[in-house]
């Protein structure tokens, strides 16, 4: 997994489609909504190219959720004022 510093350049809130002042519950709901659509075990009947693209997006939203849900991104972003 990449370090938090590498994600500091990305807007992880944008990755999940939420605002910067989103609560943990809103972040969690956004993640689950995306996961329902993109999880590799859910979308079995799609072409291989699309499946690979969805897996990459799923990894990105999973990492964004993991960082945002524990508050480390907010702390890092507020220190460096992203």
Domains contained in the chain, CATH given: 4-80 (1.10.287.110)
Q: What is the pLDDT of residues 59-76, one digit of tens each?
A: 999 999 988 887 655 555
Tell me the pTM.
0.71
pLDDT greater than 80 at residue 31: yes
In 3-state terms, what secondary structure has residue 61? Answer: helix
* Residue 16 neighbours by CB under 8 Å, 6+ apart: 27, 30, 31, 34, 61, 64, 65, 68
Which two tokens mark 25? Answer: 């519950």
């Amino acid at each position: 997994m990449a370090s938090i510093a590498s994600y500091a350049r990305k807007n992880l809130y944008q990755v999940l489609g939420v605002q910067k002042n989103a609560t943990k519950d809103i972040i969690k709901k956004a993640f689950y909504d995306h996961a329902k659509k993109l999880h590799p075990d859910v979308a079995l009947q799609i072409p291989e190219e699309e499946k690979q693209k969805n897996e990459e997006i799923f990894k990105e939203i999973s990492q964004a959720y993991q960082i945002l849900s524990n508050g480390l991104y907010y702390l890092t972003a507020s220190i460096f004022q992203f």
